[in-house]
Chain A
Amino acid sequence: MTYRQALHDTLRDEMHRDEDVFLIGEEIGVFEGSYKITAGLLEEFGEKRVRDTPIAEEGFVGAAVGAAMLGLRPVVELMTINFSLIALDQIVNHAAKIYGMFGGQTSVPMVLRTPGGGGQQLGATHSQNIELYYAFVPGLKVVAPSTPADAKALLLASLRDDDPVLFLENLALYNTKGEVPDDVAPAEIGKAAVTREGSDVTIIGYSRMAGIAGQVAAKLHDEEGIDAEVVDLRSLRPLDRETVVNSVRKTGCAVVAEDDWLTYGIGAEIAASISDGAFDYLDAPVRRVAAAEVPLPYAKPLEKAALPSAESLTTAVRETLDAVGARR
């Protein structure tokens, strides 16, 4: 099943299970969603539960927050994370804070689904990986599934959670395929997954780069006998430092793979956590593979060069192992 289908089916199932779940966003109804995640849902559930909005991100995200305060479970689709900046006030100043600033009296059980990521030649304003802006904020939860099965498990968890969850999708993942068992249980938000066991090096990634980390690890194993462990963060806030640190204590070195910009990025936080928790175990500096720090260009060769890839990650892993002298 594709990542897209897993998202669609999970939304549909949850709408059947819980009358309070409704969808709201631009072009999600008649147009069936910019990326067709909500295809057929307007027909099935009607306008009350699948609500097309005007192009007014602050207005409809804020309306979803208000509806959630009264106990409904809005699922907002933001066409892409780039447009979430228009709604930043409602997400950061309101959704994230309402539980705390009113002393725990009302929560905001809302899911903000939104794809991010580059690689589609969409230019600088439509290709950003700005999940960090949200992962920085206490009160928000930020999850980033990398596989169809995880998309289902994390979406189930997000829909049933009483806090605002930013659910990060990635344009490059919608068509990826994977096994999705019928009985996938809701994930535990805040838990990373060790998706491949290994003893030579830890590769830490999330979303698109977690998948690439898995491919790179498999190839390095098959072709060079390198035994890499892969940690998929799955949740950027809360962040599961323990799983990362435990893995690095085992392997002695780490490479972080992220689609966002390097400076102040998610990888910086991971590297700092490794320094805090596994400094004595490190045999080499923590390497970070991240996007080039430029507004993402349109031209294909430039865009390709700017984004981290299997090749750049492979190089970083090899160089790290060279540094420890452990490369076989």
Chain B
Amino acid sequence: MAQTATRSKPATRTKSGRTPARAAKSGPFGGESHELLRGYFQQMTLIRRFEERAAQGYTQAKIGGYCHLNLGEEATVVGLMSALRKTDLLFTNYREHGYAIAKGIEPGRVMAELYGRSTGTSKGWGGSMHMFDSDAGLLGGYGIVGGQIPLATGAAMAVDYRGGDQVVMCQMGDGTTNIGAFHEALNIAALWNLPVVFVVVNNHMGMGTTVDKASAESDLYKRAAAYRMHGERVDGNNVLEVRDAATKLVEQARESGTPALLEAVSDRLKGHSVVDPGKYRSEDSVQQARANDPVVNFRAKLIDAGVLDEDAAAEIEKQAQADADAAVAFADDSPHPEVSTLFDYTYATPVANDSRRLPADPVF
């Protein structure tokens, strides 16, 4: 399904979205290492189980606020993250639990953040929408639609300024491509030739608004052309197709500092957030999403191809469940942040006359 649009140079890819060398090999998975394939399945399954546990924690009121899940987007998440080095930097929107895990953060710390505990990725200050871990290269999940895009452009500018070889990836949803920040940040990234790959996860919906109702050009990857940037669309339910396209664009950014826009078409299995039953969706689109379930389908294909047998698949699933359960246990056992730390994170450079008063405290 891969499609490309670019104004600067002709598409160099085959229709399958694979590199010619890979496509030439025989079998459904070509020359792919079985270990890698199992690894992708393991990660996708872990994210699936983790998100199911997150939904449960929310209904048990152990998780508050908003909680947006990656259910149905696991192939995109794992495909994208496998294209990045550990040192590469990632900015995401608020739907980032899976990205945090796939970027290498302990699931326990991700769950602890959902629980608002001090062991969480943001010490309980961020919650579901605002996870951060510089060791893992996750430079934040952001709750304002599109707010992360200029930040990612700026991070790429800093990499460029210092002559580093990191690449910045900036994830967003389809609804995000209509906000001003998207256009301003892509324009600047292209003007200054910055090493950033913008990724639109097109799950067809922004809350209840479908892509065609929100975007005058609903082939979102084509918007790249307005910035003389390479744009490309892949099947977001195919982990290998996502990985290959992302790897190519990431390496191109690394070598020549060229930004690009990748659109991964995927499906949201549940509502916009845990509390949204998604009643506005047609039965057809729900059926379609289920039929496209990337975890179920990948499992079946791996078994068909003999990469996994039923027992091995079940073993991976059992382990993923155990890991998700362990994450919950870790979160449950973790302490809440001390109220005495309330004023610790307003300013990095302490200041004279910082106002450190609780509502009941007198000013003088």
Contact = CB atoms under 8 A, between A and B. Distances in A.
Contact of B344 (A58, A74, A104): A104
11 contacts: A59-B150, A59-B183, A67-B161, A89-B144, A93-B147, A99-B348, A106-B132, A107-B348, A189-B349, A190-B354, A276-B363
Contacts of B191: 54
Nearest to A274: B364
Q: Please list the 7 inter-chain residue pairs (A to B) with the smallest Cβ-Cβ separation, ordered nearest first.
A: A62-B150, A66-B154, A59-B184, A103-B123, A63-B154, A107-B348, A70-B158
B347 interface: yes
Contacts of B132: 102-103, 105-106
A238 B349 contact: no
A277 B352 contact: no
A177 interface: no
Contact of A62 (B124, B134, B149, B353): B149
Contacts of A184: none
Contacts of B188: 53-54, 56, 59-60, 63
A191 B351 CA distance: 9
A139 B346 CA distance: 5
B348 A109 contact: yes
A62 B147 contact: yes
Interface stretch (A29-37, A240-248, A308-316): A240-248
Interface in B163-209: 180-181, 183-185, 187-188, 191
B364 A89 contact: no
B184 A56 contact: yes
B181 A276 contact: no
Interface string A230-255: 00000100111110010000000000
Contact of B345 (A59, A62, A99): A99
A162 B158 CA distance: 16
Interface of B: 91, 120, 122-126, 130, 132-134, 139-140, 142, 144, 147, 149-159, 161-162, 180-181, 183-185, 187-188, 191, 344-349, 351-355, 362-364
A52 B209 CA distance: 37
A241 B187 contact: no
A163 B347 contact: yes
A299 interface: no
A101 B126 contact: yes
A160 to B, nearest CB: 8
Interface string A160-198: 011100000000000000000000000011110000000
A84 to B, nearest CB: 14
Given A61-B150, A66-B152, A240-B352, A102 B130 contact: yes
Contact of B363 (A54, A99, A241): A241
